[in-house]
Structure 1
Amino acid sequence: MPRKRAAGFDNQREQIIEQAAALFARNGFVGTSMNEVALACGLSKAALYHYVSDKYELLMYICEGHIERLCALVDEVGKQDLEPEPRLRLMVERFVEEYADAQNAHRVLTEDVRFLEPKDQKRILAGERKVVEAMAQAMVGVRPELAASKMAKPITMLLFGMINWMFMWLKPDGELTHERMAVVVSDLLFGGIGAVGLGDEVRKKK
């Protein structure tokens, strides 16, 4: 008969995953030991293994959890009956908000997904593709001709470039907030999206 989980098991494991994400983001997956994770969590190593089986499982929890939250965000926005521009603006806003609280997880996903086994990488990357495709389709909704020009994904990746690395320079206690910067990103996007050359137009502007 399987042993029952103690009350608060899931909460404790979430705290462990959060601490592990911070350590992996700072020192890398390879450069972090389970002893360091246990110390950061205020647990003995034996107690740590009550919640997770090994460091690989921690990496999986971090990457899967982050991707699942992003996919849920995409699905939530998609269910709303919005016109193209408000839909894209809301998606940008939600992504900026999510990344504000998931800087460590995002860095781990970006830098340490290569340490996952191929089958696990495939699942994580499928989630990433879903997120990118949803944003690209939101772009196409605003400017339909992006689809035929095959520029929707490149512009989407440029947008993610603005959002993904905002944590590198935006100070948590600074005058600018993530809410304010979400508006700035959208304004910059909509102020410039119509000016992007497609196909032959790109070559003419060089």
Structure 2
Amino acid sequence: MARPRSAGYADQRDQILAKASALFAQQGYTATSMNQVAAACELSKAALYHYVRDKHALLALVAEAHVKRLEAVVEEVLSQPLSPEARLRELIVRFVREYANAQNEHRVLTEDVKFLEDTEREQVLAIERRVVNAFADTVATVRPALKPVDLHKPLTMLLFGMINWMFTWLKPAEDGQRLTHEQMAPMVAELFFGGLGAVSVPAAPTESPASRKKTPRKETAL
């Protein structure tokens, strides 16, 4: 009979994921050992293996937990009775805030997911695609003319380009850096909305029968 989990099991595992993501972000997944993770968590290595099977499973948990949190943010915002513009603004602001509090996890997502097995990586990518599609659909509700010519997804990818890589240069803790993520969040929204209205919608191209066969692409913006 399996031993029941303690009341603090979930909290302890969350702490393990946070410490592991910090180590992975600072020194890379391949250079990080389970001994180092255990030491950072103030656990014995045997106790660490009570929560995670191995380092590979730890990476999968870090990546999946991060994208699931992002998807939860999307679901929460979409459930609110907001106008299309207010909804998109809220999504942008919430994601900037989320990334500000999960910079280690985001770096792991962008740099270390390649170490996952195909099935694990596809699980993470599937969640990413749902998040991107939700953003793209919201962009299309603000400017409906974008969807018939498939511009809502590329513009969403440009938006994520602004949000995703902010952690590489915006470092409020450093001397001389006055801007915070909280201050930058509405600026990103204003910049996107200012440019969104200026985008010219091209005429829909005439498709030949052969061009209708599209090769599936694994593109994500997160």
Structural mapping, 1:102-141, within 5 Å: 102-141=102-141
- Please give the alpha-carbon distance, in whole angstroms, between the structure 2 residues aligned to 1:133 and 1:172: 31
Q: Residues 39-118 of structure 1 correspond to what in structure 2 (within 5 A)?
A: 39-118=39-118
Unaligned runs of 5+ in 1: 201-206
- Residue 199 of structure 1 and its aligned partner are, at CA, apart by 2.4
What SS does the corresponding residue of 2:172 show, helix, strand or coil? coil
Number of equivalences: 201
- Using the TM superposition, give the Cα deviation of residue 2 of structure 1 relative to its aligned residue in structure 2, in angstroms: 1.3
| Residue 53 (structure 1) shift | 1.2
| 1:195 aligned counterpart, secondary structure | coil
Deviation, structure 1 residue 152: 1.1
TM-score (norm 1): 0.92
In the other structure, the counterpart of 2:148 is 148
Percent same amino acid at aligned positions?
58
Any runs of at least 4 consecutive aligned residues in structure 1 with deviations exceeding 3 A, and if so which? none
Task: Work out the CA distance in 1 between the residues paired with 2:202 and 2:82.
Answer: 29
Quote the residue 2:2 is aligned against. Answer: 2
Verify: 1:12 aligned to 2:15, yes or no. no
Aligned-partner Cα distance in 1 for 2:171–2:25: 17
Distance 2:164 2:67 in 1: 13
> How far apart in 1 are the matches of 2:15 and 2:25?
15
Structure 2, unmatched stretches of 5+, are 204-222
Measured in 2, the distance between the counterparts of 1:6 and 1:74 equals 31
What TM-score comes out, normalization by structure 2 length? 0.86
Q: Which residue of 2 aligns with 1:203?
A: none
